[in-house]
Structure 1
Amino acid sequence: MHTILPFLLAMVAAIVLLELLAARMRIAYPILLVIGGLAVSFIPGLPMVRVNPDLIFFIFLPPLLFEASWSISFKEMKKWWRIIGSFAFLVVFFTALSVAIVANHFIPGFTLALGFLLGGITAPPDAVSTGALTKFVRIPKSTTAILEGESLLNDASALIIFRFALVAVGTGQFVWHQAVASFVWMVTGGVAVGLTVAWIFIKLHKVLRTTAASDIALTIIEPYFVYWVAEKLHCSGVLAVVSGGLFMSAKRLEFLNSASRIQGYNVWESFVFILNGLVFLIIGLELPEIVEGLKGEGIPLRTAIGYGLVVVAVLIAARVVSAYIAMLSTYLFRRSVVSRLNWRRSWNTFFFLPFTLGWSGMRGVVSLAAALSIPITMDNGTLFPQRNLILFITFVVILTTLVVQGLTLPFLINRTHVFEELLNEDAEAETRRKMKHGLRKHIHQFLENRYQSDPAGHAGMEHFIKLWEERAEAPDSRMDKKNKKIFIELLESQRKYLTDLNKDPKIDEEIIRTQLYQLDLEEERLKII
């Protein structure tokens, strides 16, 4: 313990330093994390860190998926459900199938089942990498919603393929009718478990009258418990966490107070950031042992790198081809979606937009966690076939896609101006203006309806309105208990107004969430004056 604890703390410090360096270089921090993981493998004398493969999914995936489901806009997911669904399920299966066929044909000793296993591991693009990258480029909200929604759901579909392939490798057979029945149960059961357990936790938050600290502690427990229950019932723990997270995210105003929401956001951001970094460093620490295993199996390092690059080419080609098919289908069958494009530039959109979406498929932490979860031995005690090669190929895929695609994608977007005609900043500004105007009218109406019978007892009414409109600091002398109570009621009324406003499909949910966050900050500031 005295040896490993300082080492773990040093790993966290290294993750922080790499993130700071990435911010200064204006690149997505997962790029430096994967390079850092590679650099760690060359440091001699480091202690061997081994995580039980059976625990990899349980330790890392639930919180990562849970946090992602809280961040995404479910309203935007519903708006773009066709393309999100096609990329999250059809494209993932097509990609896994392509990898399986190529691996079976080009890699000696790779059965079709092992190919599907590798395809399931490497098929899903990484939501964290995509989100970190979009901070440095201007892309439309619709494109962000598609990329984030796809990244959230394709983890589930890819890992279902991974589980079936794992069983096929272990048993040596694949029964289609059993697989179909199992797939249906994994999907429906996973969603049902996620929604049920999430509903129970929401009730617990309300009944226990939790504080901000206990709320945050419960939210950390929740994804692990949801995942564990789903896996015990042999359904998809990934879908359970995603569906439960989306449900709780939509109900956050009902069971979390302002302090819990503000503090929880900061805690979860740091927690997920550290988890991502640890996975990359863990694979870096295991690389020397993986390379030794490859040598023991008679596979030269250069050959293994070549296999990895072949898989990278297949992944990129499959995604780009799928993006062009999706664009063609949209032009043929969903012309209303692209009706506001400038048709004089439609050739630019038709060519570069699918290519950009295809080029955005960086792989990351989910692929690493899946690869690390492959058991070392099978049920009969024999070594799992090609485990070291699969781990090495996965690392090559992640390193190549993050570095090559991650560094060139911002240049591609800025150079082609592919998203310029889809960006509608005037509409966003108009939405914010209308929302502010509506809130101002709502504040006046609320105060007039609720307190017009007792104006003398509430001399601070005009101050409340001015405080909201100008964001001025409230003087201590005017914020007595009576006025604080009124102001909190006013904030709750505004939250209800914004929640109702968010039901309009034309309203950008990110704008609503930003305003709700400001209301939380107002309430917390009110508590200390």
Structure 2
Amino acid sequence: MHTILPFFLAMIAAVVILEMWATRLKIAYPILLVVAGLLISFIPGLPAVKVNPDLIFFIFLPPLLFEASWTVSFKEMKKWWRIISSFAFLVVFFTALSVAVFANYFLPGFSIALGFLLGGIVSPPDAISTAAITKFVKIPKSTSSILEGESLLNDASSLIIFRFAMVTVGTGQFIWLQAAGSFVWMVVGGAAIGILLAILFVKAHKWLPTTATSDIALTLIEPYLMYWLAEELHCSGVLAVVCGGLVMSSRRLLFLNSASRISAYSVWGSLVFILNGVVFLIIGLDLPEIVDGLRSAGTPLHTAIWYGVLVTGVLILARMISAYSAMLATIIFRPQVRPRASSRLKAFLLPFMLGWTGMRGVVSLAAALSIPVAFDDGTLFPQRNLILFITFVTILLTLVVQGLTLPFLIRKTGVFEGLDSDDAEKETRQKMKHGLKQHVYQFLKHKHENELNGHAGMEKLLHIWEERAKANSENLMNEKTKAIFIELLESQRAYLTELNKDPAIDEEIIREQLYQIDLEEERIKII
């Protein structure tokens, strides 16, 4: 314990230092973390890192998915649900199928079932890597919404493929009717469990006399309960956490007060950063063990590297084909939502950029490591070490090659220029703020008209907000005005919630303003 604890503390310190360095270099921090982990693993005397897949699946995955479902815009997901669904399910299946066919024909010893197993492992792109990489370049809101929505669902679909392939490899048979029933139960059951638990958690937060501290503690427990219960009932724990997180996110104003929401923003941000960093560092640190297993199986290292490069090429090609197919389907069936590029060349490059965002990461590593060394009867699992190594190569290549070139390609081609106008976003913000000021003034004038008459403080408050409707101003309040102002902030939240129903309004802008209102409420409470 005294040896391992300093090592893990050093890992967290390394994550922080590398993230700062990555920001300075304008490189996505997962890239530096994986490469650094790979280099550190060769330092003599360091303890060997042997990753338990349950550690990643149960300890790391639920909070990462839960936090992602809170930050994604559900309104944007509904707007782009067709392409999100196609990329999260159809594209993942097509990618797994492509890898399965390739492995069966070109990799010695790979059956079609083993190919599907490998395909299920490497098919889901990693949302964390994509978000970290694209933050250095401006991409359209529609593109980022599609990538975020896809990332929430593709983990579930790939793990379902992985489970079915595992059963087929173990039993040597695949029963379509049974598989179809299991698939439906995993998807529907997982989503239902997540939604049901989310509703119960929301009610518990409202019924219990919680504080900001206890609210945060409960939100840390809830994703684990969703994942655990779904897995115990043989459903998709990933879908349970995602669906439950989306339900709770959409109701955050109903069961969390302003102090809880502000605290959650900071606590969850720090927690997710540490978890992400440690996982990507572990990916690099785990390579020596994977290489040792490969050598014990008698596979030459250069041959395994070549197989990994080929599989990575299949992954990239399959995603490119899918992206262009999605664009073609959009042009044919829904031309009104087709992105309008400034030239034909840029329109042609749009699917290419979407296809180039398929970096692999955490889920692929965890799935590969979860393959057992042997079956129950003692028979060794076929090609396990090679599958592990190919998975590592695909993670490394997609992170380094695609991750380093994606920002450069976006800037060089200017493919996203003109798709999302900065003027339009600025106009939306100005419209929202002006509407809020008018709403506040009318709220004070009509709802509290009787209290305002003859009360110097109330008249001053009304005058201030009358001026704020025209310009900006600061306000000093007594206890009477403080109580009304807090009620006024609740009215602003209701106004913004209603405004968010407008499809033309970016939900991210609404959330930013709601966060400012939370900060304002907490500031008022301590005056």
TM-score band by shorter chain is over 0.9
Distance 2:426 2:468 in 1: 22
State the match for 2:176 in structure 1.
Answer: 176
Mapped to 2, the partners of 1:289 and 1:25 lie a distance apart of: 30
1:125 corresponding residue in structure 2: 125
Quick check: 1:377 aligned with 2:374? yes
- CA distance in 2: counterparts of 1:472 and 1:390, whole angstroms: 63
How far 1:337 sits from its partner (Å)? 1.4
For structure 2, which runs of at least 5 residues remain unmatched after alignment? none
Which runs of structure 2 are paired with 1:182-261 in the superposition (5 Å)? 182-261=182-261
Is the CA contact 2:444–2:462 (under 8 Å) kept in the aligned structure 1?
no
**Identity of paired residues, percent?**
70
CA distance in 2, matches of 1:333, 1:173: 39
Query: 2:282 — aligned with what?
Result: 282
- Give distance in 2, aligned partners of 1:199 and 1:283: 36
The question of whether the paired residues in 1 share the 8 Å contact of 2:212 and 2:259 is answered with yes
Which AA in structure 1 matches 2:352? Answer: F
For 1:471 and 1:524, how far apart are their aligned partners in 2? 20
| Structure 1: 5+ residue stretches without partners | none
Q: Which residue of 1 aligns with 2:428?
A: 431
The structural deviation recorded for 1:473 is 5.7
CA 1:266–1:470 in 2, change beyond 3 Å: closer, same or farther?
Answer: farther
1:69 paired with 2:69, answer yes
1:446 corresponding residue in structure 2: 443
Deviation at 1:416, TM superposition (A): 1.1
Q: How far off is 1:378 after superposition?
A: 2.4
User: In the alignment, which residue of structure 2 is the partner of 1:509?
Assistant: 507
Match of 2:101 in 1: 101
CA contact (8 A) 1:259 1:520 kept: yes
Cα 1:464–1:68 shift into 2, 3 Å: farther
Matches within 5 A, 1:287-306: 287-306=287-306
Structure 1 pair 469/232, CA: closer, same or farther in 2 (3 Å)? farther
Q: Using the alignment, how far apart are the partners of 2:71 and 2:110 within structure 1?
A: 39
Distance in 1 between the 2:72 and 2:392 partners?
A: 27
- 8 Å CA contact retained: 2:496, 2:510: yes
The 1:23/1:473 distance shift into structure 2, 3 A limit, reads farther
CA distance in 2 between counterparts of 1:363 and 1:468 reads 49
- How far residue 140 of structure 1 moved from its aligned partner, in angstroms, is 1.0
| Structure-to-structure mapping, 1:460-471, within 5 angstroms | 460-462=460-462, 465=465
Match of residue 516 from structure 2: 518
Which of 477, 481, 484 is matched with 2:482 structurally?
484
Tell me if the contact between 2:434 and 2:469 (Cα under 8 Å) persists in the aligned partners.
Answer: no
In the alignment, residue 428 of structure 1 is paired with which amino acid? E
Rounded to whole Å, the distance in 2 between the matches of 1:200 and 1:464 is 43
Residue type of the alignment partner of 2:420: L
Query: 1:8-31 CA distances to partner (integer Å, 9 max, x unpaired)?
Result: 100100111110010000111111
Deviation at 1:459, TM superposition (A): 4.4
Contact 1:305 1:393 in 2 (8 A): yes
Aligned equivalents of 1:487, 1:258: Cα separation in 2:
14
Secondary structure at the counterpart of residue 360 of structure 1:
coil
**Is 1:495 matched up with 2:493?**
yes
Map of 1:315 onto structure 2: 315
Counting matched residue pairs gives 523
Instruction: Give, as a single letter, the amino acid of the residue that structure 2 aligns with 1:517.
Output: Y
Flag the 1:472–1:213 CA change in 2: closer, same or farther, 3 A: farther
Aligned pair partner of 1:417 in 414, 419, 426: 414
Deviation at 1:287, TM superposition (A): 1.8
CA RMSD of aligned residues (A): 1.7
1:341–1:350 Cα change, 3 Å:
closer
Asked whether the equivalents of residues 170 and 379 of structure 1 are also in contact (C-alpha less than 8 Å), the reply is no
- 8 A contact 1:63–1:223 mirrored in 2: yes
2: CA distance between counterparts of 1:233 and 1:505? 38
- The structural deviation recorded for 1:113 is 1.6
The letter of the residue matching 1:250 is S
Alpha-carbon distance between aligned partners in 1 of 2:206 and 2:412, rounded to the nearest angstrom: 51
**Cα separation, 2, equivalents of 1:473 and 1:437:** 16
- Residue by residue over 1:444-472, the C-alpha shift from the partner in whole angstroms, topping out at 9 and shown as x without a partner, is 11101221112233244147636798776
Q: State the AA in 2 paired with 1:511.
A: I
Task: Identify if the C-alpha distance between structure 1 residues 450 and 39 changes in structure 2 by more than 3 Å, giving closer, same or farther.
Answer: same
CA contact (8 A) 1:308 1:396 kept: yes
Query: Does the 8 Å CA contact 2:341/2:416 hold for their aligned counterparts?
Result: no
Is the CA contact (8 Å cut-off) linking 1:126 and 1:151 kept in structure 2? yes
